[in-house]
Chains A and B, each alone.
Chain A
Amino acid sequence: MTGWNLTGKSTRPRAATEPLPWEQGATPGSIPAAAAATGADGGGAAEQAEQDPNILTVTQAVGLAGATLAELPPITVLGEVSGFRGPYGARGHCYFQIKDESSSLECIIWGGVYKASPYELRNGLKMRFTGKFEVYARTGKMSFQISRFEPVGEGLLRQQVAALAEKLRREGLMDESRKRPIPAFCTRVAVVTSLSGAVIDDVKRTLRRRNPLVELICVGSKVQGEGAEAELIEALARAAAIEPAPDCILLVRGGGSFEDLMTFNDEALARAVAASPVPVITGIGHEPDTSICDMVSDRRCSTPTAAAESVAPAATELAELLATRERRLAAALSAMVADGKAGLSRALERASRAMGERLSREELSLRALAARPCLTRPDETVLRRAAELEQSADRLEAAMARGMERQAASLDALAARLPAPGSLIAEPRHALELALARLAREGRELTAARGADLARQAASLDALSPLKVLGRGYAIAYREGTVATSATTFAAGDELTVRFADGEVAAAVERVDAK
């Protein structure tokens, strides 16, 4: 009977399940019946000649084993994955073994089952596998076909961590937007870690070498074991409360087992990291380890050393930066001076160009003026006028000559038509001489009589002339140019003129004696 126990040593998994059928002393009759049943489709008809029912063909034997195993209810086995191969090809089947200290078991997971599972398998993972044994007819090899698998122990822990991570992610604690900016150059840095481990020394040494300008403040805390989470939460709060506040907090610890690092997967600690008023940089464990604290921190570094290096630029970089700035400073000033000079010379150039343009414009207009004929040949006008005048004189002369000729010609013509001078006036002249002789005769007769009268009248007029009277001793008194006829017109002191025949006397009235 034990020969049918195909694995021979798989006693351990069995312990977890109900007793297997063949261990309960199966009835002898049931076995050939099963063998016959499988033998029919097994196709080993040639061997049927052996009529001893206790001797089976290979096909019958394998079939018997398969049928027997198939009757087992599904069992659940705890084992560690090793030799994992798959998922293979399009179907995605996976082949591997599960083992414990003393046994191993071939396993198959069909692609569909593996794909539907929320978990992934890899070597070393300890898990609970549920499935049934199968025997492969062609080789008689048995394998465990797995229909379900789930983590236990560390695997279970990882699942719990993943669930917590998912929860916090959904709450938005891992959003990039809530990660606070960390200065490129933190000069005051709080380090939260164990003060007794090597990590704090590494951080100090790293920063001493990289950038000694960074001031470190060490805040000690347990980093694993009972109560470590609470201590870390308190240390974070203490670090954030330092006055003046540090630029960032380094939350670091060295490498360890998954269980050791579980402290940093604590929900309360993760929330404290996310809520810290000072940005938190994590460096927990080694490269592949990622804790929840890493996920919610403001910057995640793979190791404590990397975290320390990330807080500030290296002193050599600072020195280079300083050298660059020194050059820029000098360059900026010389550029400024050069700019100023260039500006000045541009202005000078513009000014002289403008002046030059102005001068050449003026020169052009002067030249234009100077080129005008009145200046280049000032006598031309006079000469032209003189020429014109000469022409006019010539024309005038010619015109005059022609006119004289015309007048002379017409005078000649008139003279020819004029009668002889004496013929026209001879008769009137004779009549005139006769009339003149008569007028002279008549005149003499007329004036002789009138002359005698006139001489007589002149003699009497002369006798009556006041001047004649004056000649006899009379005088005429004038007052203001008028003949004074009355003494009463005078008053003492008045002036008067007295006319005598041979002159006048100016006098003044002494006294008036009116009669």
Chain B
Amino acid sequence: MAEKKIEELTYKEASQELERIIRALESGEMELEQSLESYTRGVALVKSLRERLDSAEQQVKILEKDMDGTDTLVAGEAASTDDTLSI
């Protein structure tokens, strides 16, 4: 299996891979050696996902037109921590 490094996966990709691994393990059709390998990978995925979930910070960008009219993404402000909604 050509696996990407876990750090290179997006949260969603890592999450999807984890689910695939669990399903494969749950199907019970895997060789024991392979299942141990998958299990190890699964544990690493869980750890990485949990870290990301705990330390996630909102990313906000703004699509702005340059002088020449092309669109560029510039960093925007994340929401304030004030939880009240105005609408």
Q: Residues of A with Cβ closer than 8 Å to B?
A: 183, 185, 187, 190, 195, 198-199, 201-202, 204-209, 211-220, 238-239, 241-242, 254-255, 303-305, 315, 318-319, 321-322, 325-326, 328-329, 332-333, 335-336, 339-340
Contacts and interface: CB of A to CB of B under 8 A. Distances in A.
B62 A336 contact: no
A336 B32 CA distance: 8
Binding site secondary structure of chain A:
helix
Given A185-B12, A340-B32, A329 B60 contact: no
A241 B56 contact: no
Given A208-B81, A322-B53, 6 more contacts: A187-B11, A201-B79, A209-B83, A219-B63, A333-B36, A340-B32
Interface of B: 10-12, 15, 18-19, 21-22, 25-26, 28, 30, 32, 35-36, 39, 42-43, 46, 49-50, 52-53, 56-63, 71, 73, 76, 78-83, 85-87
A218 B62 CA distance: 5
28 contacts: A187-B11, A190-B63, A198-B87, A199-B87, A202-B87, A206-B79, A206-B85, A208-B79, A212-B58, A217-B61, A217-B62, A218-B60, A304-B87, A305-B87, A318-B53, A319-B53, A321-B15, A329-B18, A329-B39, A329-B42, A329-B43, A329-B46, A333-B36, A333-B39, A335-B26, A336-B32, A336-B35, A339-B28
A187 B62 CA distance: 16
Which residue, of A220, A325, A329, has the highest number of chain B Cβ atoms within 10 A? A329
Contact of B25 (A190, A202, A329): A329
A255 B86 CA distance: 11
Contact of B61 (A215, A322, A329): A215
A351 to B, nearest CB: 20
Contact of B73 (A217, A303, A336): A217
A212 B57 contact: yes
Contact of B87 (A195, A303, A315): A303
Given A204-B79, A205-B80, A325-B46, A198 B59 contact: no
Contact of A315 (B25, B26, B56, B78): B56
